[in-house]
Structure 1
Amino acid sequence: MTKLIGLYPGTFDPLTLGHVDIVERAVKLVDELVIGVAINRDKSPLFSLEERVAMVEQEMARISKASGVPITVKPFETLLMKFAEEVKANIIVRGLRAVSDFEYEFQMVGMNQALNDEIETVFLMADARYQSIASRLVKEIARLDGDISSFVPDHAAAALRAKFSK
């Protein structure tokens, strides 16, 4: 039987509880999970790549231990399907919050299948508690000194407060 390796890509700027929810559910579907932290220069991330990788690694260590599923965090700056091939992923895991997410993801799946039709994409609907969470909104709330504790893990909240207290 083929080992199922999932790849959950994202910018994770910052890691949110919505991301954590998707990971906690994805580990129920795969034998191993790779979290791909994207270097996306178009998005001008608040956190450096190293900070984002460290933030994700901290939370993934907890989830990996609780689930028994190995989780690896790796940065990437290449075509998603090329990265998926490099990490030997069988499936791409994507979270959906709203119809607008679906429209974008639908186009991406078509393009990705044209590049490699051996790698499937699996969509997980965000839990209702997390459907409104978007990293860009969390950053805005943090910048304006709002309470972000219900949107991000504690260590991510501390990192955001530190960024905006400078």
Structure 2
Amino acid sequence: MTALAPRIGVYPGTFDPITLGHMDIIRRGARLVDRLVIGVATNPSKSPMFTLAERKAQIMRETADIPNVEVAEFDELLMSFAERLGATVIVRGLRGAGDFEYEFQMTGMNRALNDDIEQVFLMADVALQPIASRLVKEIAVYGGDIHKFVPSAVATDVEARVRQTGMKGQ
């Protein structure tokens, strides 16, 4: 009898900062694969609040209790990253119709690059659907309470960064 190769999944994103919605998708995605790699992306179109190393450290801290999750940085095409890891699945979260439109287009492009890697979409928990990293940062900049949107330690990180940089709402 031949042993099956471990099923490796990739959950890519900027995670600036990681939210409770991201954590929901990570926990659920980790149940679908033997190994889930959280791919922390550099995204030249965004101006992150946290460096790549800081985001990676936050995610490692927040996922330390999930044994089959690891965190890796990447600065290349998602499909190249997934191929390099031997991944067979890309895990993505959907919050609503806007996410669907974007993911629909990305899936088509990714399949054109490598149709052997499946895209799996998980709907965010209904209570977590409105959460977006950019909104969390905006709320924090204006002095709002973000503790119901991100893990507690991440809220502390965001609040400290806002104080440190003197970010103020415009």
TM-score (norm 1): 0.95
Q: Paired residue for 1:35?
A: 38
Amino acid at match of 1:110: G
Q: Paired residue for 1:44?
A: 47
Per-residue deviation, residues 45-74 of structure 1 (Å, max 9, x unmatched): 11011110000110111223xxxxx21100
Q: Does the residue aligned with 1:62 lie in a helix, a strand or coil?
A: coil
Amino acid at match of 1:126: A
CA distance in structure 2 between the partners assigned to 1:38 and 1:95 by the alignment: 16
Gaps of 5+ in 1: 65-69
Alpha-carbon shift at residue 145 of structure 1 (Å):
1.1
Q: Paired residue for 1:136?
A: 134
CA distance in structure 2 between the partners assigned to 1:13 and 1:74 by the alignment: 15
Aligned identity (percent) is 58
- Aligned runs of 1:9-158 on 2, under 5 Å? 9-64=12-67, 70-158=68-156
| Rg (Cα) greater in structure | 2
Gaps of 5+ in 2: 165-170
Amino acid at match of 2:11: Y
Greater fraction of residues in helix? 1
Structure 1 stretches (4+) deviating beyond 6 angstroms?
none
Report the count of equivalent residues. 161
Alpha-carbon shift at residue 31 of structure 1 (Å):
0.5
Q: Does the residue aligned with 2:116 lie in a helix, a strand or coil?
A: coil
